[in-house]
Structure 1
Amino acid sequence: MKKYINFQLLLLVSVFMLSCVSCSRNDDEGVPSFPDGSRESVNLWVQDSMKRYYYWAEQMPAKPDYHLPVKDFFKSLLSSQDRFSFAVDTKDPSSYPRSVRNMYGFDYAVIQLPDGRVVTTVKLVMKNSPAFNSGLERGMMITKINGKVITAANAEQLTSSIKDQTVIELTVGKWVNNTVTDEKEIKVYYGYSFEQPLESKIFEKNGKKTGYLYIYDFPDGMTQALNQKFAAFKAAGIQQLIIDIRYNYGGSVASAAALCSLIPSGISSASPFIIYKGNKNGGEVKRTFAEQIQYDPNSLDFNTLRANALGLNKVYILASNSTASASEIVINNLKPYMQVIQVGDVTLGKDMAGFIVEDKRKPKKISWQLHPVIYKVFNANGEGAYGNGINPQIAASEYASLPLLPLGDQEETLISSALNHIYLKSAGKNALDKSVKILFQSDTPSAAIGK
């Protein structure tokens, strides 16, 4: 079976390891009894689990239809406010969320230019992914998918069809002098993408050094790599920092806390980092920086990380509609301790967290995994509730100038917007160009989440 890439990280963040979840069957009066192993008995387990953990448990229907297929039954329990909870059957690969990114290792955007033309540009290519190995590069233009010309009207349908295939054919070209040239055919096969490396650079102007760090996601176990990058930044004497999480769906809150511990001055192991607020069973949980970092069993401890902390009072964070979950926690939870200047677009708006709920009995009787919203998250000042996204201080579109330049290039739109603010106290030329319209992105919630 092909391996799916970090599907948990795309939608839910890990708060802590759930050591044992095997909810007993609901014994409430009036709830029917079904034979073990039946669809209805699985649905009873789903309902009991959700009653215990789900943030909106009190809004669940009192009398759901236990005869529904499990995935449909799960959906019937969800609040209308819930965009993110999902369930998968570990015995059925087709039940897992599918997206262009987690199947092929790239993403694209369909945009309308000021002259009315509609074009499609590759925005992200994961390192050592099927797309990367096929020769696809950020900044290339896609003119056809499986022989069909991409339009505003068919972009979503084409993206949906990609998820049902194991190989796709792309017609791609370069953007030169405001037009697509040198078109060629590329085949991308469905497959595995390796863990993405941290990428860093140091920009210097007039003796002032700015560190740049691109972070694709927040897996557990990344603190050693973060520590090494910040040790290099500290040794170089950087005075400003740009964190690029524009495509970061999230992941481990412990890793996000580790990153945050490396940036500001004036924090200690006892400094509050995050507040989780759950249902009547979950209550309110507070974690310091040190406590949250320790939820990753392979993490370096807080004091080891602080030895390489930069002690800054300001940080620039590059963000987009694809910045979600633990990435949004980085933005929101640094604000009590320093000035956070967000550059780019409004974030996705996933002000919530959860953990995997599954049957831990031995032998396991139920193969389904639940990924429900369990907590709303807040910073040390109690600030959260950013379900509509976090707004930038410097609004900028990376599509204002084509072709898209490589991530880490100081002329790239979002990076140059941050650097211009650092060095010139301006937002950067064309950064606010509203004549370029984003019509569709392959990693928007409707395109990326398989519900």
Structure 2
Amino acid sequence: MKKIKTFFKYHLLLIILIGITVFSCRDAEDGLPDFPEGSTESKNLWVQDSMRRYYYWADQMPAKPDYHLPVKDFFKSLLSPQDRFSYIVDTNDSSTYPRSIRGMYGFDYAVLQLASGEVVTAIKLVLTNSPAMNAGLKRGMMIKKINGTTITASNAEQLTSSLPNQTVIDLTVGDWENNTIVNEKNITVYYGYSLEQPINSKIFEQAGKKTGYLYIYDFPDGMTQNLNQKFSEFKAAGVQELILDLRYNYGGSVSSAAALCSLIPSGISAGSQFITFKGNKNGGEVKRTFSQQIAYDPNALDFNTLQANSLGLNKVYILTSSSTASASEIVINNLKPFMQVIQLGEKTLGKDMAGFAIEDKRKPKKISWQIHPVIYKVFNANGEGGYSNGIAPQILVDEYSSLPLLPLDESTETLLSSALHKIYSKSSNGGSVSDQKVKVLFQSDNPFAGIAR
């Protein structure tokens, strides 16, 4: 089984993680000094040349940056104020890679203020076969203390920011019953790897109508076989409605996202346009059909093979949160030209951009830095995009309005039950309104908070 790469090393890449040999594209009239090979200044020139060629906001880069800055600081000086996502790492120095609690330990949590004023911390995600799961953590548990310190509204962010700098976490956790934490115990979670996450599916039936539920954690390349199998099962069972749970999906491969999209609506063909990439003056505009985009994954099943198990639906229900990003947002936006998309939950993150890794492929390699810049803005077949502020749901649902948090595929889980109510209820009310007011003070899984630029 493959190990999960961290979001920043893999899931942020929306097309294909490739290396590009970038040689100098400076004009002679630039009049720049010939810095010694291997010097910080020479590395910064390589960074600048790469960014001038590929960076979406290349025309906004400073004309005369300070080449004497450390590489990370120099890179940061080139970025547009609009850019939340570009970053750079030194492949020879693991400390330069962004770190996250999810990536290191395999879980995430939210610090909440209840209507009573009480502050609690709910575990919302535990990855399968992760250090957190192996230590005994489960979704719905409450964290009372981190490394012996009680979590409060004032210290939650500081406590969280300190965790990626450690290799072991001591937690005091318990269950939430009758508005209080019971069965307290101490759990130690060690830094480690999480295995590739499974695609979870379930079929619900009411009044003769079957609804397929699909939880997709991320979009790695090579997932088309698993997607095809799940949809084959749905089709054989006679599924008539579909719920996609993308609430914690940071994204990944656009090819895998295109494969998923090809399995859902009716009326599409291999030649139907799936996506448009718009870059700077060098990148221009690139349009790709479903078939073309899927084929960018060399191990993917082809469009026609996938189409054999398409459900041919005219609407789909998608569960989202502020952690729904990148390729998962492409699924939402790029299905809209072909079917009705009913989105429930919270507004998505707003990464309407794509990119690939740029690194020195010379042999021997002379520069160990690897750049992950924003290169394209992305649009659907109708030319619609521009969701940098996030994609808002038609039905707003607060995942934390009912505690404890239930397993994601349980019919009474807050987001899922709202979608099922929308499907099976004859009323127009989506069933998503809650009288319990919960204020989210902090969440550990802001996917870009840890970018060390």
- Tell me if both proteins adopt one fold, taking TM over 0.5 as the criterion: yes
Q: Is the 8 A contact 1:139 1:402 kept in 2?
A: yes
Distance 1:370 1:168 in 2: 31
Looking at structure 2, the residues matched to 55 and 433 of structure 1 have their Cα atoms a distance apart, in angstroms, of 44
Q: Which residue does the alignment assign to 1:78? A: 79
Which residue identity is paired with 1:7? F
2:26 equivalent in structure 1: 26
Q: Which moved more, 1:42-51 or 1:438-447?
A: 438-447
After superposition, the Cα gap between the structure-2 partners of 1:371 and 1:5, relative to the gap in structure 1 and judged at 3 Å, is same
- C-alpha contact 1:131 1:188 (8 A) present in aligned 2: yes
C-alpha contact 1:25 1:45 (8 A) present in aligned 2: no
Output aligned runs, 1:373-384, within 5 Å.
373-384=374-385
Give the AA of the match of 2:234: F
Q: Which residue does the alignment assign to 1:267?
A: 268
The more displaced of 150-159 and 242-251 is 150-159
Question: Is 2:426 the counterpart of 1:443?
Answer: no
Q: Per-residue displacement from partner, 1:140-198 (whole Å, max 9, x unpaired)?
A: 00011111111111111111100100001111000000111111111000111110000
Q: CA deviation at 1:432?
A: 4.6
CA–CA distance in 2 between the matches of 1:73 and 1:434?
A: 48
SS at match of 2:400: helix
- CA shift in 2, pair 1:275/1:3, >3 Å: closer
| Corresponding residue number in structure 2 for 1:140 | 141
Deviation at 1:10, TM superposition (A): 3.7
CA RMSD, 1 decimal: 1.5
Matches within 5 A, 1:200-279: 200-279=201-280
State the distance in 1 between where 2:151 and 2:448 align: 18
**CA offsets, 1:101-123, max 9 Å, x none?**
00100000011111111110000
User: Which residue is 1:167 aligned to?
Assistant: 168
Preserved contact between residue 227 and residue 305 of structure 1 (Cα < 8 Å): yes
Partner AA of 1:174 in structure 2: D
Q: Does the Cα contact within 8 Å between 1:88 and 1:96 map onto a contact in 2?
A: yes
Q: CA deviation at 1:24?
A: 1.9
Q: Is the 8 A contact 1:215 1:243 kept in 2?
A: yes
Q: Displacement of 1:442 after TM fit?
A: 0.4
1:92 is matched with which residue? Answer: 93
Task: Check whether the contact 1:104–1:189 (CA below 8 A) recurs between aligned residues.
Answer: yes
For residues 286 and 446 of structure 1, the distance between their equivalents in structure 2, rounded to whole angstroms, comes to 28
| Cα distance change of structure 1 residues 83 and 442 upon mapping to structure 2, 3 Å threshold | same
The equivalent of 2:287 in structure 1 is 286
Does the 8 Å contact 1:401/1:430 carry over to 2? no
1:49-78 deviation digits (Å, cap 9, x = unpaired): 000000000000111111111111111100
Post-superposition offset of 1:136: 0.4
Q: Which residue number in structure 2 is paired with residue 415 of structure 1?
A: 416
**Aligned positions of 1:168-207 closer than 5 A:** 168-207=169-208
Question: Matches of 1:327 and 1:25 in 2, distance apart?
Answer: 35
- State the alpha-carbon separation in 2 of the partners of residues 301 and 345 from structure 1: 33
* Alpha carbons 2:12, 2:251 under 8 Å: kept: yes
CA distance in 1, matches of 2:286, 2:212: 34
Question: What is the rounded CA distance, in whole Å, between the counterparts of 1:364 and 1:433 in structure 2?
Answer: 60
Per the alignment, residue 36 of structure 1 pairs with 37
Residue 399 of structure 1 aligns to a residue in which SS? coil
Q: Which runs of 5+ in 2 are unaligned?
A: none
Does the CA contact (< 8 Å) of 1:99 and 1:449 recur in 2? no
TM-score norm. by structure 1 comes to: 0.97
Q: CA deviation at 1:25?
A: 6.0
Aligned length: 449
SS in 1 for 2:32: coil
> Following superposition, which runs of at least 4 residues in structure 1 exceed 6 angstroms of deviation?
none
8 Å CA contact 1:138–1:405 kept in 2: the answer is: yes
CA pair 280-434 structure 1, distance change in 2 beyond 3 A:
farther
Q: 2:394 is matched with which residue? A: 393
Q: Which moved more, 1:147-156 or 1:440-449?
A: 440-449
Partner of 1:117: 118
Partner of 1:321: 322
Q: Percent identity, please.
A: 72
* Rounded Cα–Cα distance in structure 1 between residues aligned with 2:390 and 2:435: 21
Equivalent residue number for residue 102 of structure 2: 101
Deviation at 1:7, TM superposition (A): 2.9
Residue 81 of structure 1 and its aligned partner are, at CA, apart by 0.3
What TM-score does the superposition give when structure 2 sets the normalisation length?
Answer: 0.97
Return 5+ residue gaps in structure 1 as ranges.
none
Q: Provide the C-alpha distance between the structure 2 equivalents of 1:371 and 1:174, rounded to a whole number of angstroms.
A: 41
Partners of 1:340 and 1:24 lie apart in 2 by 46
Distance 2:258 2:276 in 1: 12
AA paired with 2:165?
Answer: D
Any idea what the Cα deviations from partners look like across 1:222-256, whole Å, max 9, x if unmatched? 00000000000000001100000000000000000
Residues 159 and 447 in structure 1, CA contact (< 8 A), matched pair in contact too: no
